[in-house]
Amino acid sequence: MKIPPCKPIFDEDMEKAAVHALRNERFIFGESMYKFEEDFAKYCNVDYALSVSSGTNAITIALLAAGIKNNDEIITSASSYIATSNAVIHATGKPIFCDINDSYTIEVSQIKDKIKDKTKGIIPVHLYGHPADIDEINTIAREHNLYTIEDAA
Protein backbone atom coordinates (compact mmCIF):
# COMPACT_ATOMS: atom_id res chain seq x y z
CA MET A 1 0.00 0.00 0.00
CA LYS A 2 1.35 3.41 -0.95
CA ILE A 3 0.60 6.25 1.43
CA PRO A 4 1.27 9.66 -0.10
CA PRO A 5 2.96 12.19 2.20
CA CYS A 6 0.13 14.60 1.48
CA LYS A 7 -2.69 15.11 -0.93
CA PRO A 8 -3.19 18.63 -2.24
CA ILE A 9 -6.57 20.22 -1.73
CA PHE A 10 -7.60 21.54 -5.10
CA ASP A 11 -11.25 22.12 -5.88
CA GLU A 12 -13.10 23.46 -8.92
CA ASP A 13 -13.15 27.07 -7.66
CA MET A 14 -9.39 26.99 -7.18
CA GLU A 15 -8.92 25.61 -10.68
CA LYS A 16 -11.10 28.37 -12.16
CA ALA A 17 -9.17 31.04 -10.26
CA ALA A 18 -5.83 29.64 -11.44
CA VAL A 19 -6.96 29.43 -15.08
CA HIS A 20 -8.40 32.95 -14.87
CA ALA A 21 -5.11 34.31 -13.52
CA LEU A 22 -3.07 32.50 -16.18
CA ARG A 23 -5.29 33.68 -19.04
CA ASN A 24 -6.09 37.21 -17.91
CA GLU A 25 -3.29 38.46 -15.68
CA ARG A 26 0.45 38.93 -15.66
CA PHE A 27 2.64 36.31 -14.01
CA ILE A 28 3.55 38.83 -11.33
CA PHE A 29 1.76 41.87 -9.92
CA GLY A 30 -1.64 40.70 -11.10
CA GLU A 31 -5.07 41.52 -9.73
CA SER A 32 -5.20 38.22 -7.82
CA MET A 33 -1.94 38.99 -6.04
CA TYR A 34 -3.14 42.39 -4.88
CA LYS A 35 -6.43 40.89 -3.68
CA PHE A 36 -4.55 38.16 -1.80
CA GLU A 37 -2.30 40.75 -0.11
CA GLU A 38 -5.30 42.81 1.00
CA ASP A 39 -7.19 39.77 2.29
CA PHE A 40 -4.14 38.36 4.05
CA ALA A 41 -3.41 41.71 5.75
CA LYS A 42 -7.00 41.84 7.02
CA TYR A 43 -6.74 38.22 8.21
CA CYS A 44 -3.53 39.04 10.12
CA ASN A 45 -5.02 42.31 11.44
CA VAL A 46 -2.19 44.39 9.97
CA ASP A 47 -2.12 47.32 7.57
CA TYR A 48 -0.07 45.66 4.82
CA ALA A 49 1.00 42.29 3.46
CA LEU A 50 3.53 41.70 0.71
CA SER A 51 3.71 38.68 -1.58
CA VAL A 52 7.18 37.45 -2.45
CA SER A 53 8.55 34.56 -4.48
CA SER A 54 10.04 32.57 -1.59
CA GLY A 55 10.62 32.36 2.14
CA THR A 56 14.26 33.29 1.52
CA ASN A 57 13.19 36.52 -0.16
CA ALA A 58 10.70 37.19 2.63
CA ILE A 59 13.45 37.00 5.25
CA THR A 60 15.86 39.07 3.14
CA ILE A 61 13.26 41.80 2.64
CA ALA A 62 12.35 41.76 6.34
CA LEU A 63 16.03 42.19 7.24
CA LEU A 64 16.44 45.05 4.78
CA ALA A 65 13.26 46.68 6.11
CA ALA A 66 14.74 46.37 9.61
CA GLY A 67 17.77 48.36 8.44
CA ILE A 68 20.37 45.58 8.55
CA LYS A 69 23.71 46.89 7.31
CA ASN A 70 27.03 45.39 6.25
CA ASN A 71 28.19 42.72 8.74
CA ASP A 72 25.42 43.34 11.26
CA GLU A 73 25.03 40.10 13.18
CA ILE A 74 21.84 38.05 13.20
CA ILE A 75 21.52 35.13 15.63
CA THR A 76 19.83 32.08 14.13
CA SER A 77 19.57 28.34 14.50
CA ALA A 78 22.62 26.23 13.67
CA SER A 79 20.39 23.45 12.40
CA SER A 80 18.09 24.54 9.62
CA TYR A 81 17.88 24.79 5.87
CA ILE A 82 20.57 27.01 4.36
CA ALA A 83 18.00 29.56 3.15
CA THR A 84 17.80 31.23 6.56
CA SER A 85 21.49 32.05 6.75
CA ASN A 86 21.60 32.82 3.02
CA ALA A 87 18.91 35.46 3.54
CA VAL A 88 21.09 37.09 6.21
CA ILE A 89 24.07 37.07 3.83
CA HIS A 90 21.95 38.46 0.96
CA ALA A 91 21.00 41.35 3.25
CA THR A 92 24.78 41.89 3.87
CA GLY A 93 24.51 40.62 7.43
CA LYS A 94 26.47 37.91 9.20
CA PRO A 95 24.70 34.83 10.59
CA ILE A 96 25.70 33.87 14.12
CA PHE A 97 24.73 30.30 14.84
CA CYS A 98 23.15 29.14 18.07
CA ASP A 99 22.72 25.50 19.08
CA ILE A 100 19.37 23.73 19.05
CA ASN A 101 17.36 22.04 21.76
CA ASP A 102 15.56 18.69 21.83
CA SER A 103 12.73 20.20 19.75
CA TYR A 104 15.21 21.11 16.98
CA THR A 105 14.62 24.82 17.55
CA ILE A 106 17.03 27.48 18.75
CA GLU A 107 18.29 26.92 22.31
CA VAL A 108 16.98 30.04 24.03
CA SER A 109 19.35 29.72 27.00
CA GLN A 110 22.33 30.31 24.66
CA ILE A 111 21.02 33.39 22.85
CA LYS A 112 22.17 35.99 25.39
CA ASP A 113 25.77 34.70 25.18
CA LYS A 114 25.71 35.31 21.42
CA ILE A 115 24.62 38.96 21.66
CA LYS A 116 27.42 41.41 20.87
CA ASP A 117 27.63 45.09 19.84
CA LYS A 118 26.97 44.25 16.17
CA THR A 119 23.95 42.01 16.91
CA LYS A 120 20.80 43.46 15.37
CA GLY A 121 18.34 40.59 15.41
CA ILE A 122 17.30 37.02 16.05
CA ILE A 123 15.80 34.65 13.51
CA PRO A 124 14.31 31.63 15.25
CA VAL A 125 13.35 28.81 12.90
CA HIS A 126 10.18 26.86 13.64
CA LEU A 127 11.12 23.39 12.46
CA TYR A 128 9.50 19.96 12.02
CA GLY A 129 6.24 21.18 13.51
CA HIS A 130 7.98 22.47 16.63
CA PRO A 131 7.60 26.19 17.30
CA ALA A 132 10.54 27.97 18.86
CA ASP A 133 9.93 29.56 22.28
CA ILE A 134 8.95 32.85 20.67
CA ASP A 135 7.72 34.49 23.89
CA GLU A 136 11.10 34.05 25.56
CA ILE A 137 12.95 35.02 22.36
CA ASN A 138 10.89 38.21 22.07
CA THR A 139 11.61 39.03 25.73
CA ILE A 140 15.36 38.73 25.08
CA ALA A 141 15.02 40.76 21.87
CA ARG A 142 13.18 43.58 23.69
CA GLU A 143 15.75 43.61 26.50
CA HIS A 144 18.56 44.10 23.96
CA ASN A 145 16.69 46.25 21.41
CA LEU A 146 16.87 43.56 18.71
CA TYR A 147 14.52 42.60 15.90
CA THR A 148 12.87 39.18 15.84
CA ILE A 149 12.08 37.79 12.40
CA GLU A 150 10.44 34.36 12.51
CA ASP A 151 11.29 31.75 9.89
CA ALA A 152 8.10 29.75 9.73
CA ALA A 153 8.52 28.47 6.16
Read off the pLDDT of residues 64-83 as tens digits, 9 standing for 90 and up: 999 999 999 999 999 888 99
Whole-number pLDDT of residue 133: 97
For the chain, percent of residues with pLDDT exceeding 70: 97
pLDDT digits (tens, 9 = 90+) for 20-29: 888 888 777 8
Residue 101 has pLDDT above 90, yes or no: yes
Q: Residues 22-57: pLDDT tens digits?
A: 888 877 788 888 999 999 999 999 999 999 989 999
Residue 151 and residue 123 in contact, taking contact as beta carbons nearer than 8 Å: yes
Going from the C-alpha of 23 to that of each of 13, 105, 124, the distances in angstroms are 15, 43, 40
> Hey, which CATH number is domain 55-148, 3.40.640.10, 3.40.30.10, 3.40.50.620, 3.40.50.1970?
3.40.640.10
Provide the pLDDT for residue 5. Answer: 67
Helical segments of the chain, H only: 12-24, 31-44, 55-65, 83-90, 111-114, 134-143
* Whole-number pLDDT of residue 114: 98
Residues of the chain with CATH 3.40.640.10: 55-148
The model's pTM is 0.81
pLDDT at 68: 95
